[in-house]
Structure 1
Amino acid sequence: MFRRKTSTQTEQEINDAKIKELKALIGQLSGRSSLYCSDACLKRYLEARSWNVTKAKKMLEETLKWRSTFKPEEIRWNDVSGEGETGKIYKAGFHDRSGRTVLIMRPGLQNTKSLDDQMKHLVYLLENAILNLPEDQEQMCWLIDFTDWTLSTSVPIKSARETINILQNHYPERLAVAFLYNPPRLFEAFWKIVKYFVDAKTFSKVKFVYPKNQESVELMSSFFDEENLPTEFGGEALLQYNHEEFSKQMNQDEVKTANYWGLLVESNNGFSGAEIAPEPIQTNP
């Protein structure tokens, strides 16, 4: 299980051996689980557990169990579009300087009360963002805008805890950085509770950013082109969420989702995408 590094073994060789070991331990998989558990996926779970194969195996098995019941690849925009009407979470139309997908969250625009529907909406957007990552990228950025945020409009602790659980336990190593932009003082009390649900690795990726703080301004500038960054995050772009246009984009992307997972997707012209396949053809994750 644990190997001593020899003088001739490189770190890459050791990591490759652990990926191979993890693959052997999880055994033969089929269907969507087989497609999900690519070498890149196994590497992310190992990285999330500091390359401890036993812990990575446990984490991955829990995710496979979760995916078998939650079925994230089967969620369609029509199922969750009501959650997205206010633009409380959406995929931005720009990337960071590294070309990574950017998700924008505006918790002050929460518009529903159903935790199950909120999580379905979150997972749908995570799956879509991952599917649209450039081939050379595995992680995404989060921009969290605290305009209109108050304790009365804040996400309940239960919702925040489940959000964190999904992000760090079922989408490991998908977060590059999360910017909490200009949070009010009231948020500090909320954060003192929420941060206990966040593991150390995820915690290190959460950055508090304040527009009048020079260090914060420089940090944002190092990640984003000011011309693309919305004004609410200190940039120059005047962007406004358009639910109708975003819905069109999501519906178009569902053909790509269907083809990837080997599913059928219903469109205005009937069904499109691949036929249901028990063993989808593997492509880059």
Structure 2
Amino acid sequence: MTVTTMDETNEEKKTGELPENEGNVITLVGEKSQLSEEVERKGCEEILAALNEDEKSRLSDEHMALRHLRAEKGDAKLAIKKLKKALQWRKEFGVDKIKNAFSKNGDQEMRSVMTLENETGKCYVRGYDKEGRAVFYMRPVLENTKEEINQMRQLVYHVERAIACTARKSGLEKFNIVIDYKGFRLRDAPPMSTSKHTLEILQDYYPERLHRAYMFNPPFIFRTFWNLIKAFVDPVTKQKIVFCHGKAGLVEMADKFDMSTVEDFTGGTAGELRAFDSQEYLASTPFDHTFDEA
């Protein structure tokens, strides 16, 4: 992990090192510090000191330790425990193999899995909010598979892609999720194990990454599904969930997004955008670009 100063944001630093000047300010681009500078600096030092060299080499980026520290409200010991678990998960789950499935030397089996999982367009990253955070769209009624592990690989691919797109576009840390529940029926609800697994990945392994989750067109029957899973949603994540109904939902979107760039089911003013093309998105579009990005 690198801890950067306000004027060193664009300088490359070796993973696991702290700047020599102990008076430097820890910062995440576009994010307000949740703790005092001293607490964050000392906490990050404690976390990095607790990692072995292999763990340090597997940090996803220079701010991973800081995000875990903030997620645990400054409790460095708990952050160390959670971070070590996340690093082990990334290794065992094969996050790098998932991310690189469509690179020149990508794993062919993983590529086949991702191609099948994505063929209906149930998940994709497209566009940004006004501040440059990528938008990860989910459309549950287009679910086409039943194998949980591969569905989770699909989730991780898109989380990683949304993060990469946001970083390239604006240098920010977080991304948005927009879920379209149009046509959702109770039989479309995923098994409880899948819902819990999804929440575990987002909350435990990607803390401080979600900006907002917008829920569009939730039918009355969705309340039954929500009542089943909300007990597993941590309080911080609950605060980020926005249920978008009618005009109030459109106002919420218009405040945060250029409405000419979002899908029509969110109130987009451009009508239907170009139809999603899974093959183009996976195989031809750079990983750090959203679909149909100019």
Secondary structure of the residue that 1:132 maps to in structure 2? helix
Q: Which of 136, 160, 164 lines up with 2:199 in the alignment?
A: 164
Secondary structure of the residue that 1:90 maps to in structure 2? strand
Could you state the TM-score of these two structures normalised by the residue count of structure 2? 0.77
One-letter amino acid matched to 2:46: E
1:26-175 paired onto structure 2 within 5 Å: 26=51, 28-30=52-54, 33-36=56-59, 38-75=61-98, 76-77=101-102, 78=111, 79-92=113-126, 94-134=127-167, 136-175=171-210
One-letter amino acid matched to 1:20: E
Secondary structure of the residue that 2:250 maps to in structure 1? helix
Per-residue deviation, residues 216-275 of structure 1 (Å, max 9, x unmatched): 22211111111112111111132222122212345x439x9xxxxxxxxxxxxxxxxxxx
Q: How many residues align?
A: 241
Q: Which has the higher relative contact order, 1 or 2, with Cα contacts under 8 A spaced 6 or more apart?
A: 1
Deviation at 1:189, TM superposition (A): 0.7
Deviation at 1:211, TM superposition (A): 2.1
Check conservation: 1:110, 1:155, Cα contact below 8 A.
no
One-letter amino acid matched to 1:85: E
Distance 1:95 1:133 in 2: 8
Distance 1:58 1:184 in 2: 39
Which residue of structure 2 lines up, in the alignment, with residue 272 of structure 1? none
Question: Hey, which bits of structure 1, 4+ residues long, moved more than 6 A?
Answer: none
One-letter amino acid matched to 2:223: E
Which residue of structure 1 lines up, in the alignment, with residue 31 of structure 2? none
1:266-277 paired onto structure 2 within 5 Å: none
Question: Equivalent pairs: percent with the same residue?
Answer: 32
One-letter amino acid matched to 1:178: A
Deviation at 1:33, TM superposition (A): 4.5
Check conservation: 2:58, 2:87, Cα contact below 8 A.
no
Which residue of structure 2 lines up, in the alignment, with residue 270 of structure 1? none
Distance 2:282 2:87 in 1: 29
Check conservation: 2:133, 2:172, Cα contact below 8 A.
yes
Which residue of structure 2 lines up, in the alignment, with residue 179 of structure 1? 214
Distance 1:205 1:248 in 2: 32
Deviation at 1:82, TM superposition (A): 0.4
- In structure 2, do the counterparts of structure 1 residues 126 and 37 end up closer, same or farther at CA, with 3 Å as the change threshold? closer
Per-residue deviation, residues 173-198 of structure 1 (Å, max 9, x unmatched): 11000000120010001001111111
Could you state the TM-score of these two structures normalised by the residue count of structure 1? 0.79
Which residue of structure 2 lines up, in the alignment, with residue 229 of structure 1? 262
Secondary structure of the residue that 1:208 maps to in structure 2? strand
RMSD: 2.1
Check conservation: 1:96, 1:225, Cα contact below 8 A.
yes
Structure 1, 132-141 or 101-110: larger mean CA deviation: 132-141
Which residue of structure 1 lines up, in the alignment, with residue 231 of structure 2? 196
Unmatched segments (≥5 aa) in structure 2? 1-24, 26-34, 103-110, 290-294
- In structure 2, do the counterparts of structure 1 residues 159 and 36 end up closer, same or farther at CA, with 3 Å as the change threshold? same
